Amino acid sequence: MPLIFLFHRDDAHLVEEIVESVLKRLDHVRIVNSKRLVGIEKQISHVESLLQVEVQDVRAIGIWGMSGIGKTTIAEVLYSRLCSEYEGCYFKVDVKKEWGGYRNMHLKKELFSTLLGEQDLKIDTLHGLPSSVERMLHRTKVLVVLDDVSDQEQLDILIGTLEWFGRGSRIIITTRDKQVLARMVVDNDIYEVKELDFDESLRLFNLYAFEQNDTNKNQIEYSELSKKMVKYAEGIPGVLVDLGRELLGKDKRYWKIQLGRLKKKVPIKKVHENVRLSYNDLDHLEKRIFLDIACFLDGLHLKLDHIKLLAKDRGYSVGVELESLKNKALIIISPDNVVSIHNIIQESAWKIVRDESDNDPENQSRLLDFDDIYEVLKNDKVYVYIYILKV
């Protein structure tokens, strides 16, 4: 192998440039605690196969799924592993939360200033880029992660078109709404995040409930209670982590109280808040259909056509709305067209109904509790008969 000697008229200046370049890349590296990652490697390998980092095209991929399923964690791990291979890197957590008004322009400037290492980058329009910026960007291989994108407009403004970016660039988008990816990401490049299996769920829960992974006295003593907690979570990492943190250091009496709350279908606060955000983004008809499925139709194993027929009797067509709810990861439509809903989301839907009038069931749009139904029927049988038919 021949020896190649590089000469520089100013070695000190060259060293400064190298150090600056290395520090710039290190500044974007996100440290991920790998000891707390359970059951994620196989999911990461799926997303890596979609990225095809060895191919020198420009590619965007989507990571899609319900709240708490682990989309952000997968994106963080990939970013930490890949960032050093790119000339510019950018990771924005929770775009949905940051979006709105003057912040949109701020985010756009932040994105391209970070990618190009130019703090005083001049961008004065939401749509498009100045030609000078576009030329620089087109020569730069970048890695961009936009987390929790909730609207296609966010991608239109922040990413624009893949033609802006240099060869080999990769864009990773996490979202709860598959539809926002439609213009930029083809279906085959969207990964739907899966639930953990029971053993993986138990390991993850134990990491947070006992602060260690190895079997110990407490894990054995609390074994049956732990399994019940894990069964409730149904493989959702966010629920397992929140439960574990809530129970860490607590005695058995507290564990049993918490388990009793879960059996009464009282959702975990943080999980409910996330589902509520998704619910608030629905239009009026989507909200009605979502609550109907959560309160009345789930567990009946009804086919899509049956639900469409039931809804038709109420005077509206629901095909588009059901597809929208599926894309927003609020309901599940199986390959054989059976409609269902995840228990965690269903419990939040029930709380949304109860919160309509917690102390006065007569004013709730749907009656769920047998005692409430009895009390309302007892007080006004004719009114309630009409009331139940109405919903």
Q: Give the whole-angstrom CA distance, residue 9 versus residue 342.
A: 65
pLDDT in tens, 75-117: 999 999 999 999 999 999 999 999 988 899 999 999 999 999 9
Q: Give the whole-angstrom CA distance, residue 131 versus residue 136.
A: 9
**In the chain, % of residues over pLDDT 90:** 49
Q: Which of 120-124, 163-167, 298-302, 352-356 has the lowest mean pLDDT?
A: 298-302
pLDDT band at 212 (very low <50, low <70, confident <90, very high): low
- Sorted by where each starts, the structural domains of the chain and their CATH numbers stand as 11-192 (3.40.50.300), 198-264 (no CATH), 271-390 (1.10.10)
pLDDT in tens, 7-57: 455 655 555 555 555 555 555 555 555 567 888 899 999 999 999 999 999
For residues 341 and 331, the answer to whether their CB atoms sit within 8 Å is: yes
Q: Give the whole-angstrom CA distance, residue 373 versus residue 363.
A: 12
**pLDDT at position 164:** 95
List of residues 6+ apart from 239 with CB closer than 8 A: 68, 232, 233, 268, 271, 344
Whole-number Cα distances in Å, 63 to 13, 66, 86, 171, 186: 42, 10, 20, 11, 12
**pLDDT at position 272:** 85
User: How many residues belong to the chain?
Assistant: 391
Whole-number Cα distances in Å, 353 to 76, 105, 293, 348, 383: 35, 37, 12, 9, 19
Long-range contacts of 17-26 (CB under 8 A, 24+ apart): 24/117, 25/83, 25/84, 25/89
Q: Give the whole-angstrom CA distance, residue 207 versus residue 298.
A: 33
